[in-house]
Protein backbone atom coordinates (compact mmCIF):
# COMPACT_ATOMS: atom_id res chain seq x y z
CA UNK A 1 0.00 0.00 0.00
CA UNK A 2 2.76 2.56 0.78
CA UNK A 3 4.21 2.03 -2.71
CA UNK A 4 0.83 2.89 -4.24
CA UNK A 5 0.68 6.10 -2.23
CA UNK A 6 4.27 6.99 -3.14
CA UNK A 7 3.57 6.32 -6.81
CA UNK A 8 0.42 8.44 -6.69
CA UNK A 9 2.30 11.28 -4.99
CA UNK A 10 5.08 11.06 -7.58
CA UNK A 11 2.53 11.13 -10.39
CA UNK A 12 0.72 14.11 -8.84
CA UNK A 13 4.01 16.00 -8.35
CA UNK A 14 4.99 15.30 -11.95
CA UNK A 15 1.58 16.39 -13.23
CA UNK A 16 1.66 19.61 -11.17
CA UNK A 17 5.19 20.40 -12.42
CA UNK A 18 4.01 19.91 -16.00
CA UNK A 19 1.05 22.22 -15.48
CA UNK A 20 3.29 24.87 -13.91
CA UNK A 21 5.78 24.59 -16.77
CA UNK A 22 3.02 24.96 -19.37
CA UNK A 23 1.65 27.99 -17.51
CA UNK A 24 5.11 29.59 -17.50
CA UNK A 25 5.52 28.96 -21.24
CA UNK A 26 2.06 30.41 -21.89
CA UNK A 27 2.93 33.52 -19.89
CA UNK A 28 6.20 33.87 -21.83
CA UNK A 29 4.24 33.59 -25.08
CA UNK A 30 1.82 36.29 -23.96
CA UNK A 31 4.72 38.63 -23.12
CA UNK A 32 6.44 37.97 -26.45
CA UNK A 33 3.28 38.46 -28.50
CA UNK A 34 2.48 41.70 -26.66
CA UNK A 35 5.87 43.08 -27.78
CA UNK A 36 5.44 42.19 -31.47
CA UNK A 37 4.71 44.54 -34.33
CA UNK A 38 4.12 43.78 -37.98
CA UNK A 39 5.21 46.06 -40.80
CA UNK A 40 4.68 46.20 -44.54
CA UNK A 41 4.99 48.59 -47.44
CA UNK A 42 3.75 48.67 -50.98
CA UNK A 43 6.09 47.92 -53.87
CA UNK A 44 7.22 51.49 -54.48
CA UNK A 45 7.58 52.26 -50.77
CA UNK A 46 5.11 55.13 -50.88
CA UNK A 47 2.87 53.55 -48.21
CA UNK A 48 4.20 51.96 -45.01
CA UNK A 49 2.11 50.56 -42.17
CA UNK A 50 3.09 49.19 -38.77
CA UNK A 51 0.56 47.33 -36.64
CA UNK A 52 0.70 46.46 -32.96
CA UNK A 53 0.29 43.09 -31.32
CA UNK A 54 -3.50 43.18 -31.63
CA UNK A 55 -3.34 44.18 -35.30
CA UNK A 56 -4.14 47.85 -34.66
CA UNK A 57 -2.42 50.49 -36.79
CA UNK A 58 0.48 51.97 -34.85
CA UNK A 59 2.11 53.96 -37.66
CA UNK A 60 1.17 55.04 -41.16
CA UNK A 61 3.72 56.69 -43.43
CA UNK A 62 2.68 58.20 -46.75
CA UNK A 63 5.17 59.45 -49.30
CA UNK A 64 4.32 62.57 -51.32
CA UNK A 65 3.77 60.31 -54.36
CA UNK A 66 0.41 59.24 -52.92
CA UNK A 67 -0.97 62.73 -53.61
CA UNK A 68 -1.35 61.67 -57.22
CA UNK A 69 -3.95 59.04 -56.24
CA UNK A 70 -7.67 59.55 -55.96
CA UNK A 71 -9.04 59.13 -52.44
CA UNK A 72 -10.70 55.76 -53.04
CA UNK A 73 -7.55 54.28 -54.59
CA UNK A 74 -5.36 55.61 -51.79
CA UNK A 75 -7.70 54.11 -49.20
CA UNK A 76 -7.67 50.74 -50.97
CA UNK A 77 -3.88 50.70 -51.16
CA UNK A 78 -3.51 51.64 -47.50
CA UNK A 79 -5.84 48.80 -46.52
CA UNK A 80 -3.86 46.31 -48.64
CA UNK A 81 -0.61 47.32 -46.93
CA UNK A 82 -2.28 47.24 -43.51
CA UNK A 83 -3.48 43.68 -44.17
CA UNK A 84 0.03 42.70 -45.26
CA UNK A 85 1.39 44.11 -41.99
CA UNK A 86 -1.22 42.16 -40.03
CA UNK A 87 -0.34 38.95 -41.92
CA UNK A 88 3.32 39.61 -41.07
CA UNK A 89 2.29 39.87 -37.43
CA UNK A 90 0.44 36.53 -37.66
CA UNK A 91 3.57 34.86 -39.07
CA UNK A 92 5.67 36.29 -36.25
CA UNK A 93 3.16 35.06 -33.67
CA UNK A 94 3.39 31.56 -35.18
CA UNK A 95 7.15 31.70 -34.72
CA UNK A 96 6.81 32.76 -31.10
CA UNK A 97 4.27 29.99 -30.49
CA UNK A 98 6.74 27.45 -31.86
CA UNK A 99 9.52 28.84 -29.64
CA UNK A 100 7.47 28.79 -26.43
CA UNK A 101 4.47 26.48 -26.13
CA UNK A 102 4.89 24.61 -29.42
CA UNK A 103 2.64 24.73 -32.46
CA UNK A 104 1.48 21.17 -31.76
CA UNK A 105 -0.05 22.00 -28.36
CA UNK A 106 -3.68 22.93 -27.81
CA UNK A 107 -2.62 26.43 -26.73
CA UNK A 108 -0.31 26.81 -29.71
CA UNK A 109 -2.92 25.68 -32.22
CA UNK A 110 -5.51 28.03 -30.71
CA UNK A 111 -3.23 31.08 -30.78
CA UNK A 112 -2.03 30.44 -34.33
CA UNK A 113 -5.58 29.80 -35.52
CA UNK A 114 -6.79 33.02 -33.91
CA UNK A 115 -4.16 35.17 -35.64
CA UNK A 116 -4.37 33.38 -38.99
CA UNK A 117 -8.15 33.71 -39.00
CA UNK A 118 -8.09 37.42 -38.19
CA UNK A 119 -5.05 38.28 -40.30
CA UNK A 120 -4.74 35.84 -43.23
CA UNK A 121 -2.02 36.04 -45.85
CA UNK A 122 -3.28 37.43 -49.12
CA UNK A 123 -3.38 34.89 -51.92
CA UNK A 124 -1.88 35.04 -55.39
CA UNK A 125 -5.20 36.20 -56.89
CA UNK A 126 -5.11 39.29 -54.70
CA UNK A 127 -1.49 39.96 -55.67
CA UNK A 128 -2.40 39.74 -59.37
CA UNK A 129 -5.32 42.12 -58.82
CA UNK A 130 -2.99 44.59 -57.09
CA UNK A 131 -0.55 44.37 -60.01
CA UNK A 132 -3.35 45.22 -62.46
CA UNK A 133 -4.29 48.20 -60.34
CA UNK A 134 -0.71 49.41 -60.09
CA UNK A 135 0.04 48.58 -56.47
Average pLDDT per consecutive 10 residues, the chain (135 residues; last block may be shorter): 73 73 86 96 97 97 96 96 96 95 93 95 60 45
DSSP 3-state assignment of 14? helix
How many structural domains does the chain have? 1
Surface-to-core class of residue 127, CB atoms within 10 Å of its CB (0-12 exposed, 13-18 middle, 19+ buried): exposed
Residue 9 confidence (pLDDT):
78
Q: Please give the full DSSP string across 24-41, using - where no structure is assigned.
A: HHHHHHHHHHHT--EEEE
Domain around 97: 2-133
Residue 134 confidence (pLDDT):
47
How many angstroms separate the CA atoms of 95 and 112, rounded?
Answer: 9
Q: For residue 27, what is the domain's CATH number?
A: 3.30.1310.10
Residue 21 confidence (pLDDT):
82
Residue 1 confidence (pLDDT):
57
Amino acid sequence: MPNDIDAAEDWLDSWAAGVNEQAERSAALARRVAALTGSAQNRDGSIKVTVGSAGQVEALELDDRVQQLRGAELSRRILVVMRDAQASLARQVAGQVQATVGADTETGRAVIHSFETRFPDRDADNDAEDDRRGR
